[in-house]
Amino acid sequence: MFTLKVDRDLSLALVQPSFAARYLEIVTHERDYLSQWLAWPPHAEDEAFFLSFIRQSLHDYADGKSMTCAMIYQDEIVGNISFNVIDSSLKRVEIGYWLSQSMQGRGIVTRAVSQLIEFAFLELKMEKVQISAASENKPSRAVCERLGFTLEGIITCAENINGRVVDHAIYGLSHQAWSEGRVSSPSV
């Protein structure tokens, strides 16, 4: 199984069917919280939902289209992070993530995104990392800003999240900007 060790407490593991039960547990307890910024939680009613998601994610990984990982903090799955899109022709990846509300404020997402940025530039030889966040999603936008992304623009009416149409803030980080500004992984 593909695993990236971020630090002593945090690793990223390619999704596998055994993760479905834990994903369901998180969503069952935090459905309202996750539904603020994600369209799928209202539809995630059983393990079959996550097994289907995992099967598709593994298929797309095998095809080189995406890479979906669980965030494992202190040996417990606490969320998900992925290259939602790996576009080899444009040399660009798009990162997406969600984290259990109970795990907020520990720097987990910032450290995980930082690790995926490094992987994208050094291993996949990408030229750009992009993140799209709802414009009102201040925690996700703060991750981008903390890691040196540039706000490239706002796309209005970009997504319907459970009946609420939201704008997206599009952030980008070029390999060159990352290389010039790189010091070390953030310690949050």
| CATH number of domain containing 108 | 3.40.630.30
Which pLDDT score is estimated for 27?
Answer: 96
Q: How many CB atoms lie within 10 A of CB 78?
A: 22
Q: Please give the average per-residue pLDDT across 78-105, as a whole number.
A: 97
Tell me the per-residue pLDDT of 133-184, one tens digit each, with 9 for 90 and over. Answer: 999 999 999 999 999 999 999 999 999 999 999 999 999 999 999 999 864 4
pLDDT for res 185: 45
Mean pLDDT of 87-95: 98
Residue 133 belongs to a domain = yes
Task: For residue 187, tell me if it sits in a domain.
Answer: no
Answer whether residue 188 is part of any domain: no
CB-based contacts of 135, cutoff 8 Å, min separation 6: 141, 154, 166, 167, 168, 169
Count of structural domains, the chain: 1
pLDDT at residue 184, rounded to an integer: 45
Q: How confident is the model at residue 2, as a pLDDT?
A: 84
Cβ(130)–Cβ(139) under 8 Å? no
Say what percent of the chain tops pLDDT 90.
94
Q: Residue 79 falls within a domain, yes or no? A: yes
At residue 126, does pLDDT exceed 50?
Answer: yes
In a domain, 186, yes or no: no
Average pLDDT, the chain: 95
Mean pLDDT of 45-59: 97
User: Which pLDDT belongs to residue 182?
Assistant: 63
Whether 40 has a pLDDT exceeding 50, the answer reads yes
Domain span at residue 127? 3-181
In a domain, 100, yes or no: yes
Q: Which helix (H) or strand (E) holds 61?
A: helix 47-62
Token pair recorded at residue 148 = 């040196």
pLDDT of residue 70 exceeding 60, the answer is: yes
Amino acid at 39: A
Predicted confidence at residue 170, as pLDDT, reads: 98
Predicted local distance difference test score (pLDDT) of residue 19? 98
pLDDT at 165: 96
* Residue 188: predicted pLDDT: 46
The pLDDT, as a whole number, for residue 187 is: 46
Asked if residue 88 is part of any domain, the answer here is yes
The shares of helix, strand and coil residues in the chain, as percent rounded to the nearest 5, are 40, 35, 25
With respect to residue 140, please indicate whether it lies within any of the assigned structural domains. Answer: yes
Residue 25 CB neighbours (<10 A)? 13
